[in-house]
């Protein structure tokens, strides 16, 4: 079932809703600012301080972030209008023509308070909040000398309450932003670790094959030179696959449009599934190595969840790589897939005695098994590795194969 159209519609609806809310907010602020100008003009007050304060405040609040210059930091956006408001309050206490206050100024200061608490760096957030909140609370004191002192002070508690509400809202949004940032960073880290595991699995498999076949070619060069061509062709094929895996993974990790454009249509992470498992097993031995056989029971469904198929592919891939590294004397490798009780059983067995005529640095550091264990347990399965009772080694993975509800 394709959920992409529904997701696109939901995203479009959410974007439109956010755009409507922003348009309503902008319109409201502008209308309140116009009301401040009308109030000042109707009472015969000097207009230029009102226009200056509101112009600075509206620019600080409404300037689109995509076009905002780097020097216009959140602390500067909050501090300049708040400072002008405090200066106007100080002058208005002694100059009657400056003594004016309207809802536009209050709304702008409260918006700047919320922005300061939400977006300012930690060491600036408190200072800007105190400055902006103080300007909001102090604004009614412009009328301290012209009306009853009790009436002037009566406006202070509501302003303080509004200041506290908007500061708390800014703090709440800041915590949400931080949680979202942590979640995004953790998601990116997990995805990069998964891609690193992909790169390790595929490249290690191909490079180990290259090493084994190169060793075989050196031994055949002196006695069986006529049979070298298939070995060299296998080396060429494995090297091409390794480079292709690295190209795809690195291109996606870089994430740029140019790198993504270089990938073939539909090309994603170098994933594997049960349909490509036969090719992996069939090409394991090459012209000189042990032949691997795949036994897929008829009970294995065709439509297993993709993550289960990918995990099964990786189990087989890592097990075959370890046969090359640690059991080069193996003559038989068997891969078996069965399905019972909603569980996919993946078994890889070899009959090697542990001969590994390859450099120590090429034998791996155990990261493959660690990665496999993490992958299998993440799906709720189990992984067992160990020697067989008679001879050789076995890897057994049990993967829950039931589709999870979304």
Here the CATH number for the domain that contains residue 397 is 3.30.565.10
Residue 58, φ and ψ in degrees, nearest 5: -65, -40
* pLDDT score for 291: 78
For 298, residues 6+ apart whose C-beta sits below 8 A from its C-beta are none
6 part of a folded domain: no
Other beta carbons less than 10 A from residue 41's beta carbon: 12
231 part of a folded domain: no
Choose one of 131, 154, 177: the last residue of a domain: 154
Strand order in the sheet with 332-340: 291-296, 332-340, 343-350, 393-400, 382-387
207 part of a folded domain: no
Q: How many domains does the chain have?
A: 2
46 part of a folded domain: yes
Q: Please state whether 45 falls in left (phi above 0), alpha (psi between -120 and 50) or beta.
A: beta
Choose one of 110, 137, 154: the last residue of a domain: 154
* pLDDT score for 113: 94
* pLDDT score for 76: 93
For 359, residues 6+ apart whose C-beta sits below 8 A from its C-beta are none
Choose one of 103, 122, 154: the last residue of a domain: 154
Structure tokens given for 56:
């600075």
**48-62 vs 74-92: helix crossing angle, rounded to 10:** 160
267 part of a folded domain: no
- Whether residues 147 and 278 fall in one domain: no
Choose among 316, 304, 232: nearest CA to 279: 316
210 part of a folded domain: no
292 part of a folded domain: yes
Per-residue pLDDT of the chain (406 residues; tens, 9 = 90+): 344 444 455 567 767 887 788 888 889 989 999 999 999 899 888 899 999 999 999 999 999 888 888 898 999 999 999 999 999 989 987 888 888 888 999 999 999 999 999 999 988 999 999 999 999 998 888 877 666 555 666 777 888 999 999 999 999 999 999 998 888 788 777 767 766 666 666 666 666 666 666 666 666 666 666 666 666 666 666 677 666 767 666 666 665 444 444 444 444 444 577 888 888 888 776 655 677 889 999 889 888 888 888 888 888 888 887 887 777 778 888 999 999 888 999 999 988 876 555 554 445 555 567 777 888 888 889 999 888 888 888 999 999 987 554 4
252 part of a folded domain: no
Domain that holds residue 286: 274-406
Sign of the C-alpha dihedral, residues 303, 308, 310, 316? negative
* pLDDT score for 187: 75
* pLDDT score for 278: 85
Contact 401, 342 (CB under 8 A): yes
């Amino acid at each position: 079932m394709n959920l992409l159209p529904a997701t696109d519609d939901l995203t479009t609806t959410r974007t439109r809703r956010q755009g409507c809310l922003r348009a309503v907010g902008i319109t409201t602020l502008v209308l309140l600012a116009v009301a401040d100008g009308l109030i000042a003009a109707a009472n015969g007050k000097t207009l230029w301080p009102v226009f200056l304060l509101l112009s600075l405040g509206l620019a600080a609040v409404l300037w689109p972030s995509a076009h905002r210059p780097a020097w216009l930091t959140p602390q500067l956006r909050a501090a300049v209008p708040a400072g002008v408001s405090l200066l106007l309050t100080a002058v208005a206490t002694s100059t009657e023509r400056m003594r004016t206050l309207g809802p536009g100024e209050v709304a702008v200061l409260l918006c700047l308070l919320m922005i300061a608490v939400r977006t300012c760096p930690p060491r600036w957030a408190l200072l800007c909040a105190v400055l902006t909140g103080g300007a909001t609370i102090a604004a009614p004191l412009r009328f301290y000398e012209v009306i009853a002192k009790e009436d002037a002070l009566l406006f202070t508690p509501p302003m303080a309450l509004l200041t506290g509400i908007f500061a708390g809202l800014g703090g709440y949004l800041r915590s949400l932003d931080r949680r979202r940032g942590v979640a995004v960073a953790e998601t990116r880290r997990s995805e990069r670790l998964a891609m690193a595991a992909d790169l390790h699995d595929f490249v290690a498999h191909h490079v180990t094959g290259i090493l084994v076949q190169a060793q075989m070619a050196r031994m055949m060069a002196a006695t069986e030179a006529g049979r070298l061509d298939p070995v060299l062709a296998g080396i060429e094929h494995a090297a091409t696959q390794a480079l292709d895996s690295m190209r795809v993974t690195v291109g996606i990790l870089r994430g740029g449009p140019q790198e993504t454009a270089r990938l073939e249509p539909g090309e994603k992470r170098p994933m594997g599934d049960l349909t490509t498992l036969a090719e992996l097993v069939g090409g394991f031995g090459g012209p000189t190595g042990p032949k691997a056989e795949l036994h897929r029971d008829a009970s294995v469904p065709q439509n297993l969840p993709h993550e289960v198929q990918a995990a099964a592919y990786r189990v087989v891939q890592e097990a075959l790589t370890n046969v090359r590294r640690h059991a080069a004397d193996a003559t038989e490798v068997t891969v078996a897939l069965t399905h019972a009780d909603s569980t996919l059983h993946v078994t890889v067995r070899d009959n090697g005695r542990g001969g590994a005529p390859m450099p120590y640095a090429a034998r791996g550091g155990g990261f493959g098994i660690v990665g496999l264990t993490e992958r299998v347990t993440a799906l709720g399965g189990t992984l067992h590795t160990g020697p067989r009772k008679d001879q050789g080694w076995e890897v057994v993975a049990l993967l829950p194969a039931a589709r999870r509800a979304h």
